[in-house]
Amino acid sequence: MSLYLNIEKRLGDFQLRVNLETGDDILALLGASGCGKSLTLKCITGIENPDKGRIIVDGNVFFDSEKKINLSPQKRRAGLIFQNYALFPNMTVEANILCATRRDSSSATKQQRSAKVKEIMESFGISQLARHYPSQLSGGQQQRAALARTLVSSPDILLLDEPFSALDSHLRFHMEKELRDIMRRFGKTVVLVSHDRDEVFRLCDKIAVMDDGEVDVYGSKEAVFDDPKTLSGAILTGCKNISPIHKLDEHHALAKDWGLTLQTSREVGDAEYIGIRMHDVRYAGASDANKINNKSTSDGINRIGYKNDCLIDETDGFSKNIFSMEVSEVVENPFSYTVMLRGKYKDIGWETEKPYGKALRPSETVRIQLPPDAILLLKK
C-alpha cells in the first residue's frame, strides 16, 4: 500500500469525504468540475488541511487528526503539478528547477544540486532552454520544465492536476505519450486529476469516480468502464444512452424513456437506471415484419415474432433485445456517424462507422440489437 486516504473536509456548503487505498499505481480521480478532485490533491500535499482523517504515503504519515500529526508541505515530499504549471515567471528554466532542490540543501552541495539539475534537464530534453523564461516556452516545453522541477526533488508521490488542460489537441497527443513514459519510470504512486474519460483510460491503472465530494466508484479502469455501477459513473465514463427502469424480474426491465423491454445478463437487483454505450448498439439487419412473422430472416435464424417489439429467438425462447426502430436523425462526425433512433420519450444514440451511417435517412426503419451483456445496470 503506497497511498492510504481517509479524510473529511468542509468548505462552506461543500463536504469532501474520500476513502481509498492504492499501491504503486497510476490512479485517476475522474469527475466533473467542483466534485472535489483538486481539493483532494491539495489535502495530500498540505496546501489544505482536512478537518479529520489520515493520509499515509509510502508508510509515512502525512496527516493524522487523532494523533495530531500534520506535516508541513515541505516535509511531505509530494510533487504537485498544477494546471498552469506554476513556473516562476521571473526565473529561468534552470533557476526554476534549482529551486526544487533546496529541500536537499542540507545534505547536498551547490555543485551536486547543479549537477542534478543539468542531469534532469538533459533527460527531459530541455537543456537548450536553460536560460529561457517561462513566457518564452511553448505549452509542451512548460510542461517538461514543470515535470523536471517536480521530479528533481525525488518525491514519494506524484500528483497531476489536469496536466493537459493548457495544450491543444495535437500537442496533447504527443505530450500524453511522454507523460505516460515518465509516470511508468517514476515507479511510485501517481494521482492524476481529470474530467476526460479517454485520457484517463489511456494513462491510468485505476479510476476513482468522484461525485459531490465522494468516491462514487473505484476499481481498475477495465472494471469501471465495463460496469460503472452508478449513474454518475456511467455518465463520466461516456455512456450517453441512459433510461430509468421498471424492474420486471432479475433479468428483464422496462426502459421507461425508450419504451423497450430489455433482457440483461447481469441481475437487475436494486438498479434504478439502465444504460448502453453508443458503440455497443449493433445493426441487426433491415426491418421486414413480414419476413419475421414468416420465421425467415436474412441471418438464417428462425424466430417466433415480436414480443413487446422485441424479437424472440425460437431456439431458446429468450429475448435477444432486437428491435425495429425508426431513424430520427443522422449526425456526421469526423470518422463515424451518430444515428439517433426514436424511443418513446428519448432517442437512443447509435455510433456507426463510415460509410454505413450515410446510407440511413430520417424516418427509415432499421433493426438494431442492444446486446444483453452490454447493458449497464446503475444505481443513483
% of the chain at pLDDT higher than 70 = 87
pLDDT tens-digit profile of 248-282?
999 999 999 999 999 999 999 999 999 999 999 99
Q: Is 96 helix (H, G, I), strand (E, B) or coil?
A: helix
Q: What angle do CA 19, 42, 97 make, to 5 degrees?
A: 130
pLDDT tens-digit profile of 153-173?
889 999 999 887 766 677 677
**Residue 136 vs residue 82, higher pLDDT:** 136
Across-strand partners of 16?
9
pLDDT tens-digit profile of 313-342?
333 334 589 999 999 999 998 888 999 999
Give 85-92's long-range contacts (Cβ < 8 A, gap of 24+): 85/134, 85/142, 85/143, 85/145, 85/146, 85/166, 86/146, 87/134, 87/142, 87/145, 87/146, 87/149, 88/134, 89/133, 89/134, 89/135, 90/133, 91/133, 92/130, 92/131, 92/132, 92/133
**Residue 179 vs residue 256, higher pLDDT:** 256
At residue 289 the predicted structure's pLDDT band, cuts being 50, 70 and 90, is very low
The pLDDT value given to residue 236: 94
% of the chain at pLDDT higher than 90 = 61
The pLDDT value given to residue 167: 67
pLDDT tens-digit profile of 292-321?
333 333 433 333 333 334 433 333 334 589
